[in-house]
């Protein structure tokens, strides 16, 4: 199921030319993923405290298709591409009026407090289906 998260482009998100600075798309998709996890009912603070597991981005493959500009209303979509025991791959797209401006394939891993790979928590995996 596609998760949708609205983002407004503020002046601070843009460069001198008034277009969104390239690195800020990564912030937009991070917010989209965080809200997606929250809306699944997963409390990441409790997950760290109770299970000793956190999520970390391992890889991002990104494409920039067209610029977003100051005051644009954007939508970040998040869709699950693949799930394994310790890894989740999501496709995220930043759109304006249904047109893709940025897209990324993001690999997220679960790690323990020592930074070693860990299994995705069962509650999280259940919520993906």
Tens of pLDDT, residues 38-60? 999 889 999 999 999 999 999 99
Predicted pLDDT at 127: 81
Q: Which residues of 89-119 are buried (b: 16+ CB within 10 A; e: fewer)?
A: bbbbbbbbeeeebbbbebbbbbbeeeeeebe
Number of domains in the chain: 1
- Tell me phi and psi for residue 41, to 5 degrees: 90, 15
pLDDT tens per residue, range 66-120: 999 999 999 999 999 999 988 999 999 999 999 999 999 999 999 999 999 999 8
CB 19 within 8 A of CB 102: no
Predicted pLDDT at 129: 65
Per the structure, the complete domain to which residue 68 belongs is given by 3-127
When pLDDT is cut at 50, 70 and 90, the band that residue 121 belongs to is confident
d(C-alpha 80, C-alpha 83), whole Å: 8
pLDDT tens per residue, range 3-49: 999 999 999 999 999 999 999 999 999 999 999 999 998 899 999 99
CB 112 within 8 A of CB 118: yes
The CATH number of residue 12's host domain is: 3.10.129.10
d(C-alpha 79, C-alpha 112), whole Å: 25
Hey, which residues are catalytic here? Answer: 15
């Amino acid at each position: 199921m596609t998760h949708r998260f609205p983002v407004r482009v503020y002046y601070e998100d843009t460069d001198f030319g008034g277009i969104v600075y390239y690195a800020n798309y990564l912030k937009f998709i991070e917010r989209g993923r965080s809200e997606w996890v929250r809306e699944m009912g997963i409390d990441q603070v409790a997950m760290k405290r109770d299970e000793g597991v956190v999520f970390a981005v391992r890889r991002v493959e990104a494409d920039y298709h067209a610029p977003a500009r100051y005051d644009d209303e954007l939508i970040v979509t998040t869709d699950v591409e693949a799930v394994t025991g310790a890894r989740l791959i999501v496709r995220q797209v930043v759109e304006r009026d249904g047109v893709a401006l940025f897209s990324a394939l993001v690999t997220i891993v679960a790690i323990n407090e020592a930074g070693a790979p860990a299994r995705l928590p069962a509650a999280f995996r259940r919520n993906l289906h």
